[in-house]
Structure 1
């Protein structure tokens, strides 16, 4: 009986591993444009006539993955659901020089229109466009922007809360959160009507509008998509703001980062609502981050992982300071209350560990 039970568990484990592996291999076909991008265009000759049956190879420079498509009778080609990154497009067809287009960067939800004009000649000859030429996004109808990796990593974020990036979008006002809570957001005139997304999946609490479900560290964010109008089909459920945080992934090269941030009382200003003679609330913040990504098998499997540990005192926040007039304080002390019972701020601390 024990042997049969062990065999059943082994078979169940194998089925589970197979299911997870299959999901990881074919997940690209199930994801929406909220997590990916698309490259499309028209293949033409020097006269502008369409070239059908052209072989087009679209290669991700960072991961080495390739997608092959063929132009139709109108010369149109389309490669949907491409992972974010920098791409190279190569087109080959008989009696025309091979064309290589480089420097195409896809951001979240972008549809890059890359038209390919071929020159007559031997296919062994190659014409390469190496500059980072801008590409049109003719299908874009939404009102918003995408914060790329450079912006996410370089913009100052004292709170370490990436949801505060929502306030950088036009027509969005509110108050940022100084910790890992939820910022108070007003978008399009609607208060707390934010649809939070994580990799294109819902990350909003069902019982309270405008409240994110799961906090996340900036260490695990590569791009942030902000949309206030003209939502695509995969979005909705709000007349206000769509905020989609996209997590990073590994590439063919090993990349990593480590950091230590700290704040002390001397670095902080005095809260505006306390007496100029009062003792400044203590500020003590320590923040450690570590992240690494790279290949498991080049051009096939990659990994990314990281952690962030935050320990900080929150007594210096204006809403936690204690204000009492000197006369009332003196009267209470005279009544027998010790002077130590009147701190400048409520002693509050926070410890957070993301991994």
Structure 2
């Protein structure tokens, strides 16, 4: 009987590992890699490098040429793709944002791995797979914007279109926020993709986070999918600064 219980607990933890990882509020990158004739290329090593990472994030394409790089903190990246018999593909200036999944399809040309084809200056990254209306605010922009003197994480909402606010009568200067007629407690706040507010008190002025904790903030203003918390107001996800390879 004890062995059955232990086995059941191990299975439970194994099954619950992936959903917990998927809740992280960082960005994701996906796409297909093909040759110049349009043939899919399995076994391609794809790596993402950035100053916000301690080590590269690496993936290998499957039998359909598909790759996915998950949990990339907000920042600017260099993406490389390598496969013997083909020149190394290098794309610079890939900007990742909190909570967004971008698609980059890559075409490899015949050559040696020592050869490198560098791509830069392409169009901005856009999330095209979801109908969600999303606003991303960088932490540096938030702290530089002359919005308020409070310097709270919720100052992001003062920059979001369609969001109204009023002072809270608490003598501190905090504000309550409204969106499309929703109640001030109807919002959902996340920290690194995990719930950060109480169900019965989901108000911005009830959370004591300063603006310095924001590296990137994602504000969903409509069209939320099933991965978002249930809310009739805004859904806001805050990604905090993390260690990298830059002092």
Shift of 1:211: 5.1
Structure 1 vs Structure 2 CA RMSD: 2.6
Corresponding residue for residue 195 of structure 2 = 202
CA pair 194-182 structure 1, distance change in 2 beyond 3 A: farther
Pair 1:131–1:29, CA change in 2 (3 A): farther
- CA shift digits 1:17-63 (9 cap, x unpaired): xxxxxxxxxx9984435521111111112222222221212223333
Per the alignment, residue 248 of structure 1 pairs with 241
* Partner Cα separation in structure 2 for residue 213 and residue 246 of structure 1: 19
Counterpart in the other structure of 1:328: none
Question: TM-score when scaled to structure 2?
Answer: 0.80
Is 2:118 the partner of 1:125?
Answer: no
Match among 144, 154, 175 for residue 163 of structure 1: 154
Of 182, 187, 190, 1:190 maps to 182
Preserved contact between residue 32 and residue 234 of structure 1 (Cα < 8 Å): no
1:149 to 106, 123, 139: 139
Contact between 2:74 and 2:215, CA under 8 Å: does it hold in 1?
Answer: no
How many residues of Structure 1 are paired with residues of Structure 2 in the alignment? 228
Give the equivalent residue in structure 2 for 1:216. Answer: 209
Distance in 1 between residues matched to 2:67 and 2:78, nearest whole Å: 15
Structure 1: any 5+ residue segments left out of the alignment? 1-26, 255-355
Distance 1:211 1:69, change over 3 A: closer
The match for 1:229 among 222, 226, 229 is 222
The reply on whether 1:56 has 2:46 as its aligned counterpart is yes
How far is the alpha carbon of 1:133 from its aligned partner? 4.5
Question: Secondary structure of the residue that 1:186 maps to in structure 2?
Answer: strand
8 Å CA contact 1:203–1:212 kept in 2: the answer is no
Distance in structure 1 (CA, Å) of the matches to 2:71 and 2:26: 5
SS at match of 1:191: coil
Deviations 1:294-349 (A, max 9, x none): xxxxxxxxxxxxxxxxxxxxxxxxxxxxxxxxxxxxxxxxxxxxxxxxxxxxxxxx
Q: Which runs of 5+ in 2 are unaligned?
A: 1-16
Greater C-alpha radius of gyration: 1
In 1, the alpha carbon distance for the partners of 2:24 and 2:219 equals: 11
Distance 1:230 1:252, change over 3 A: same
After superposition, the C-alpha distances for 1:148-178 in whole angstroms (9 at most, x for unaligned) are 1331231123122231321322222222569
The match for 1:37 is: 27
3-state SS of 1:72 partner: coil
Between 1 and 2, higher relative CO (CA 8 Å, sep ≥ 6) is seen in: 2
